[in-house]
Chains A and B, each alone.
Chain A
Amino acid sequence: GAVVSQHPSRVICKSGTSVKIECRSLDFQATTMFWYRQFPKQSLMLMATSNEGSKATYEQGVEKDKFLINHASLTLSTLTVTSAHPEDSSFYICSAGINTNYGYTFGSGTRLTVV
């Protein structure tokens, strides 16, 4: 079945530094990848949609300069949290797929802690 690998699973960084999170589709080519943020005991909030070879589409209220998304190939999308602050601490999850009918597979998530 479709497998999505997300790395790292946990990261602790200092305030002001940048962190990169990778999302890879291991056995299929993902034309679309989604990035979500999940606060404790809450639902997933869609941050942006990325399509291979084009600029990501950000949801309203998400700072595109702070959350940089790159989808350079059909198997890799990255989310970079720039100049991280403690309020960016959260659980970030990616999902990848071909289309809605085929279904989207979620990565295992990244727990980001900014100290």
Chain B
Amino acid sequence: AQSVTQLDSQVPVFEEAPVELRCNYSSSVSVYLFWYVQYPNQGLQLLLKYLSGSTLVKGINGFEAEFNKSQTSFHLRKPSVHISDTAEYFCAVSASGGSNYKLTFGKGTLLTVNP
């Protein structure tokens, strides 16, 4: 089984500042890792995913994340945030190597970008 810990429930930042949302995972098998964003009363939108290959993954909206196997982390970063980035962000993990593995989500981090 897998588990995900998002260390910060809320992260307030000012517009144009850099931000890092932290995610650690636990798993006894190799994993795939994902970051999703959720705007109020909406479903989830995939920001980026790590399946294999380069540990630095670039996603949509200027976000990127780095997979660190030794630290079992997959932190999400953006060098300069906008007001429109205010949303809930979820880190998720699934076991790799199969075709239909379910996602296990962290509890989410609310990113609030202030002017």
Contacts and interface: CB of A to CB of B under 8 A. Distances in A.
Chain B interface, >50% SS class: loop
A113 interface: no
Interface in B50-91: 51, 90
B41 A103 contact: no
B61 to A, nearest CB: 15
A49 B49 CA distance: 21
A108 interface: yes
Given A44-B90, A44-B105, A93 B99 contact: no
A51 B51 CA distance: 23
Given A43-B107, A103-B46, A111 B51 contact: no
A31 interface: yes
Nearest to A49: B102
Contact of A32 (B51, B96, B100, B106): B100
A99 B49 CA distance: 14
